[in-house]
Amino acid sequence: MNPARYRHIVVEGPIGAGKTSLTRRLAGHLGADTLLENADDNPFLPRFYQEPRRYALATQLHFLFDRARQLRELAQGDLFRSGTVSDFLIDKDMLFARLNLDEDEFDLYQKVYADLAPQAPAPDLVIYLQAPPDALQERIRRRGIEYERNMDADYLQRLAGSYSAFFHRYEAAPLLIVNTTNLDFAHNETDFALLVERIGKMRGPREFFSRAV
């Protein structure tokens, strides 16, 4: 994979897909900076998993403010020059808002988003990590984050479906859709090497990568 071809890569996917682990590995491989969403710094997130309706708006707004700030700093510092791999695409914030907010809250969120979201340059490549909901739930269980243990299986199902619908329509940047069911980029060197090779062979605007058992 030619680092000069991919100055700005975004890794996306639902909770448990492995986007942050892959972001760090790709950044290390490319000698690039990382831009990571700070889920642990969101004080509303643990409360959201306990009482989704009550804390959905506060959780979403906190993420929006933080992501917008990071992207603004990124643009001001011109960090794309040395390469950046990120584990969030700010365009997908609306996906969570539609999923978690009621109608009035969503209207408010849209207004805040329109005023706040920066006009970040489109990535050179977006990697969308797919996995079935049962695999996502097992990965979430294994990583053992306390506040995620109450995550509802139905919520994961709807979240995975929302991601699929979002990327079905996504055309803002080249897209590599990766079925991670039989891939482990965090711990398997062969899997990671196969992905890097596949990225290097990207030619079309939308391509797919998976591995049979």
Mean pLDDT of the chain: 88
Torsion of CA 95, 100, 105, 110, to 10 degrees: -10
Cα–Cα distance measured from residue 132 to residue 137, given in angstroms and rounded to the nearest whole number: 9
How many domains in the chain? 1
133-146: pLDDT as tens digits? 888 888 888 887 77
Confidence (pLDDT) at 81? 63
9-62: pLDDT as tens digits? 999 999 989 999 999 999 999 999 999 988 889 999 999 988 999 999 999 999
DSSP H or E run through 176: strand 175-179
- Residue 12: helix, strand or coil by DSSP? strand
CATH of the domain at 114: 3.40.50.300
Task: Please indicate whether residue 115 is annotated as part of the active site.
Answer: no
Cβ atoms 91, 172 nearer than 8 A:
yes
pLDDT range class, residue 73, cuts 50, 70, 90:
confident
Does residue 99 have a pLDDT over 80?
yes
Boundaries of domain holding 7: 3-209
Cα–Cα distance measured from residue 66 to residue 113, given in angstroms and rounded to the nearest whole number: 12
Cα–Cα distance measured from residue 59 to residue 99, given in angstroms and rounded to the nearest whole number: 13
Cβ atoms 106, 97 nearer than 8 A:
yes
Length of the chain as a residue count: 213
Catalytic residue (choose from 40, 41, 87, 124): 87
Q: Give the residue-averaged pLDDT of 98-106.
A: 95
